[in-house]
């Protein structure tokens, strides 16, 4: 049937799924018929709100508290997901932090913290999930168009972490290709979330389409990459930014 949810009976784990783009991804996957586990670090209320919205779409949802800077917590989230649902088909790694600062003032502790969450956390999530992923499964990371163009002062370290993810995805795609697992990176540009609300008017002039992206637009691309229709796309970074880096 044309209206059959295209990811029915799949199981997804979304790291950083409580708010913003992550919450939109959880709800889109749920709308497509996927049971979802989502992690959160500091927003239990937002996570619960997202979980309720997903459950209202008729799927099972699991909330897991997990700081992506903590490798043990990341591994435990994977184990809890598999224990609850018995399988894992889709991994989405959205968890990340942004600390701004120019290179001459950037604190080493903040540098280490960003690497721990934005790079090591992604690696650990993929490494821990890979043995559990079904053959033909999907891994999707959420990077940033700053991997292509930084544009503003104070973004060097953040851009570096997102460039690292784009490179990681290319290699992991080759590692897991024999199992038919595709690995791709979505690179959003300026997106309207509570984190960017104060900067919208400053950013919009840099976007050729003249507006911010919507979390649901990013989620739609993620859901496509998770589907059978995207089975020949792997090792790619797909930028969704209204032409910002064009």
3-state SS of the chain? CCCCCCCCCCEEEEECCCCHHHHHHHHHHHHCCCEEEEEECCCHHHHHHHHHHHHCCCCCEEEEECCCCCHHHHHHHHHHHHHHHCCEEEEEECCCCCCCCCCCCCCHHHHHHHHHHHHHHHHHHHHHHCCCEEEEEEEEEECCHHHCCCCCCCCHHHHHHHHHHHHHHHHHHHHHHHHCCEEEEEEECCECCCCCHHHHHHHHHHCCCCCCECHHHHHHHHHHHHCHHHCCCCCCEEEECCCCCC
Count CB-CB contacts under 10 A for residue 150. Answer: 17
**158 counts as catalytic:** yes
| Tokens found for residue 108 | 């080493």
Phi, psi of 240, rounded to the nearest 5 degrees: -130, 90
Residue 81 contacts residue 62 (beta carbons within 8 Å):
yes
User: How far is Cα 155 from Cα 146, in angstroms, rounded to an integer?
Assistant: 8
Question: What are the residue numbers of the active site?
Answer: 158
């Amino acid at each position: 049937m044309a209206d059959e949810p295209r990811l029915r009976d799949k199981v997804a784990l979304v790291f950083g799924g409580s708010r913003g783009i992550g919450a939109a991804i959880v709800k889109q996957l749920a709308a497509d018929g996927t049971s979802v586990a989502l992690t959160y670090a500091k927003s239990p209320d937002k996570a619960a709100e997202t979980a309720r919205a997903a459950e209202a779409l008729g799927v099972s949802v699991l909330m897991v508290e997990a700081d992506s800077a903590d490798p043990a917590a990341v591994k435990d989230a994977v184990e809890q997901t598999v224990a609850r649902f018995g399988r894992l088909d889709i991994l989405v790694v959205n968890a990340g932090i942004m600390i701004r600062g120019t290179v001459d003032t950037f604190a080493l502790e903040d540098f280490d913290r960003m690497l721990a969450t934005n790079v090591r956390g992604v690696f650990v999530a993929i490494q821990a999930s890979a043995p559990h992923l079904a053959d033909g499964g999907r891994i999707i990371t959420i990077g940033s168009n700053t991997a292509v163009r930084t544009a503003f002062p104070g973004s060097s370290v953040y851009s570096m972490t997102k460039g690292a993810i784009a490179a990681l995805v290319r290699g992991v795609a080759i590692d897991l290709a024999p199992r038919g697992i595709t690995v791709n990176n979505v690179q959003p540009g300026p997106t309207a979330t509570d984190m960017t609300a104060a900067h919208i008017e400053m950013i919009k002039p840099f976007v050729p389409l003249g507006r911010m992206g919507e979390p649901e637009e990013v989620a739609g691309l993620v859901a496509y990459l998770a589907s059978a229709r995207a089975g020949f796309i792997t090792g790619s970074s797909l930028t969704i930014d209204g032409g910002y880096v064009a």
